[in-house]
Amino acid sequence: MALYKTLTVNPTTKVLIWKIEETVDQLKHGITLSENSELRLQSMKSEIHQKGFLSIRHLLNIIGLTDADLQYDEFGKPHLNQGRFISITHSFNFTAIIFSNKTEVGIDIEKQREKILKIAHKFTPIEEYKTIANVDAMISKLTIVWGAKESLYKIYGKKKLLFLHHIYIDNFKFDDGKTSGEIRFNGDKNSYTVEFLEFEGFTCVFAY
């Protein structure tokens, strides 16, 4: 089985990343699905979605949780009981979770792709990045910003948040590996730490 990376963010928060290299049948071994999850798995027409779903359950096992511990609310946000928090992400052949005993968390993995240049204006003031001359660096930076906003969106966990107008990410240098972000909505302002890393053409961003 392919646990790719484990990050200890702090004493109460961990990130686990899985690289999917197994078949669906291989991923079915060693985990137990609830009846509802079994039905969800069977309804998935895409094999990569099935693999993502199953590999997440292996990540749960590694931190001592099971599929039955995971509950979803009406907005599709995953929840745990007993004051524990979790967020989940899947992109192509990578899945990841962030788990905390103390604080709300969010995580996102994205494949670095040129198409983000075309949609950047929809989620961030693109003029902030005009000084970046290198296209690859621009793609990298924008992917981090998108992942950061997605992570904060997942923490909020409800609809109506707009990436462009309600979620703000402070500027950062690649070498920093972290920045900060805010959700400003309905008169409230909440701040979060954001960390990021890149591997094999993917970007993982998580917030807490």
Q: Give 10-residue mean pLDDT values along the chain (208 residues).
A: 93 98 96 95 97 98 95 94 95 98 97 96 87 92 98 94 96 95 96 98 98
* End residue of a domain, out of 103, 131, 156: 103
If asked whether residues 130 and 87 sit together in one domain, one would say no
**Local structure of 132: helix, strand or coil:** coil
If asked whether residues 8 and 54 sit together in one domain, one would say yes
At 13, which CATH number? 3.90.470.20
d(CA 56, CA 16): 10
Q: What confidence score (pLDDT) does residue 1 get?
A: 64
If asked whether residues 118 and 82 sit together in one domain, one would say no
Q: 177: domain range?
A: 108-207
If asked whether residues 48 and 119 sit together in one domain, one would say no
If asked whether residues 200 and 178 sit together in one domain, one would say yes
If asked whether residues 193 and 124 sit together in one domain, one would say yes
d(CA 167, CA 122): 12
Task: Count CB neighbours of 113 within 10 A.
Answer: 10
**Local structure of 50: helix, strand or coil:** helix
Q: What confidence score (pLDDT) does residue 91 get?
A: 98
If asked whether residues 180 and 154 sit together in one domain, one would say yes
Q: What confidence score (pLDDT) does residue 78 get?
A: 96
Tokens of 14: 């961990």
Q: How many domains does the chain have?
A: 2
* End residue of a domain, out of 57, 83, 103: 103
* End residue of a domain, out of 78, 103, 128: 103
Q: What confidence score (pLDDT) does residue 131 get?
A: 81
If asked whether residues 134 and 164 sit together in one domain, one would say yes
